[in-house]
Structure 1
Amino acid sequence: MKIMAVPLARNGNPARVPYLTYISYTTSKGERKRPSSLPLSQRIMVQASNAWSNLGREDSRSLFDWKRRIFLLGERIMDRIEYEEWALKGIDQALGPSIRSLMLSRRRFPDAQQKRLSLLYPPSLVSPSTVLESIRRMASRRQPHHKWQLLYNTVGIIVTSPLFLVPAIPNLPTYYLLWRLWSHYRAYTACKSVSTLLEQDLIDLAPDAKLDDICAQHEDGETINLPDDWKLFMGPRRARQLMDAYELPEQCRVDLMRASMQAQSAISKNVS
């Protein structure tokens, strides 16, 4: 399992931390687990994700087309969720169990050679110190946010759960809060995992030529000049190239485009 740092936008001033997002992926087909071998919680989430995707199918039929209307509304809501949360959720799925076993093995066998995490980055766009500062800042800044959101969503679930007693009407508020509770929990545990890796110095920064070639392409029509000397890198073509080069799932393309859209919006707001 590896993680890659994907630049979204960079400023002409190298002292300013660029906008980066992170994608976790398997390095070989042998590491990709079959659905039946996943933990129960992940199997439930896979089934829920498939059920949600089925709501948006164009051939789906329902009274007043309510299924597709709910799907489109949900997609707009998900587009507003901060891209750092999406990135952290992927890191948690990849690293959560291995971090716990890593710490346990280190206590039992302190002299044994420890497994390390490879963090790929494009060397012509970001420096190793910048990547470390970015992921450290993301983990430390977002951990208290997700911790409090766990409490707020738990309270919200308790308040809205009586709506299950209303017949013939799906309790969408509680379903949404349950999903948000799970999402914040995944992001919170990812923050702790990343912090542990940084504290134990178990992250190896690895410059990756393939990632650099894709992200640093010039004159391809996707690099957008933004105010205050910012440049936006990630567009649909580059996202598709990353998917093909690293055999990433479709969800990674969606996450990259959400991240790019939010980075552009954040830069425009900060400049105005």
Structure 2
Amino acid sequence: MRLYLLPISTRRTLLYCQKLNAPTTERPTWGDWIQSKASRTWAGWEKKERGWQKSVVNYGNYAFRRIPYEEWGLKSVPPLSQRRRVVERNGSEKIEVVYPKSLLAMDKVPGILETLATERQSLHKRRLIWCLVGMPITAPIALIPVIPNLPFFYLVYRAWSHWRALAGGKHVQFLVQQSLLSLTPSPVVDEVYAAQKLPLPSTPQPTTDAIVSRVESFDPSSEERHQHPEGETMLLSQANGKKMTQALDLPQLEVELERAIWQVETAIKKQNAALAQADSGPASAKGASESDTAPKEEGKKSQ
């Protein structure tokens, strides 16, 4: 496999794992078979023009787009099997990490990877437990004829998704702790970032209080840094995200980048809207109070 670190903004980085050609002697696991079967079924439903399957696909794609891109990134990393653990510990297999040298310093890359691997572990564990609790509660819905038990299957999928994110995070954490990474700066990735025109959406304040992967070496124009010293600035647009997938020859990365860019842009817009509302609130309240007191003051003068 090969790992990619692609900064989306000055505070958030997408982790993506490319699965390279597996050895022919390696047999697929039951999890791989189920995932492949589900993908084929979902693709078949997407081709339908109408019906409940098409409605499920539409609502499902809407929900999938809102699953955090960090979770999708960790899910792209395969679980750390015992065989892989032995091979990687012996040093016979190192995992390549591709990143932009212009945005990420080499000595920061292992720390960013470990942060991405561990910062959401407690959240995934907590939500996995809630999904497991909810599955027996929703299971009796299957007794209703005709109607498929969508709540149950949704909880099953989300439980599997949280488990895969946990497993992928543990795999990345293992690679960092065992120094099994081969850091490879990519001129191709740097060229895509260099071609990105500024300014991009920004916010003067962080969009989240959670631990985030910072791009410490990011150095935009002095004017942009002065306007947003502690905030967050986008580093990729949707158009350049597509150019990134083309430059890396990774068509499967396009969906991941599109989702991540959309989510970060949406977070920045919401933060800016909240700040604008907070700034206008006191001013409007002050204006309203002045307008209320003005007639009283005029009345006193007339008397």
Counting matched residue pairs gives 246
1: distance between equivalents of 2:70 and 2:88?
29
Residue 59 (structure 2) aligns with: 73
Q: Does 1:226 align with 2:210?
A: no
Deviations 1:176-216 (A, max 9, x none): 11111111110011111112112112222221111111233
Q: Does 1:169 align with 2:147?
A: yes
Unaligned runs of 5+ in 1: 11-17
Q: 1:43 to 1:96 in 2, by over 3 A?
A: same
SS in 1 for 2:14: strand
Give the C-alpha shift of residue 105 in structure 1. 4.6
Residue 138 (structure 1) aligns with: 116
Deviations 1:217-272 (A, max 9, x none): 133x8x6141223432333332322333333244x211211111111233344553
**CA root-mean-square deviation:** 2.5
Deviations 1:97-128 (A, max 9, x none): 3xx32433577xxxx54422111110112222
Q: With the length of structure 2 as denominator, give the TM-score of the two structures.
A: 0.73
Residue 127 (structure 2) aligns with: 149
Deviations 1:135-172 (A, max 9, x none): 22222221121122221111111111111111111000
Q: Tell me which of 217, 220, 237 is aligned to 1:235.
A: 237
2: distance between equivalents of 1:6 and 1:254?
14
Q: Tell me which of 182, 185, 195 is aligned to 1:207.
A: 185
Q: Is the 8 A contact 1:160 1:173 kept in 2?
A: yes
Residue 285 (structure 2) aligns with: none
Q: Is the 8 A contact 1:125 1:216 kept in 2?
A: no
Larger radius of gyration: 2
Residue 260 (structure 1) aligns with: 261
Letter in 1 for 2:83: S
Q: Give the alignment of 1:78-97 within 5 angstroms.
A: 78-91=64-77, 93=78, 96-97=80-81
1: distance between equivalents of 2:43 and 2:87?
40
Letter in 1 for 2:124: H
SS in 1 for 2:119: helix
1: distance between equivalents of 2:88 and 2:239?
43
Letter in 2 for 1:206: T
2: distance between equivalents of 1:264 and 1:239?
13
Q: Is the 8 A contact 2:196 2:240 kept in 1?
A: no
2: distance between equivalents of 1:260 and 1:215?
14
Q: Percent identity?
A: 27
Q: With the length of structure 1 as denominator, give the TM-score of the two structures.
A: 0.81
1: distance between equivalents of 2:194 and 2:55?
39
Residue 138 (structure 2) aligns with: 160
Unaligned runs of 5+ in 2: 205-227, 276-303
Letter in 1 for 2:96: S
1: distance between equivalents of 2:131 and 2:15?
25
Letter in 1 for 2:248: Y
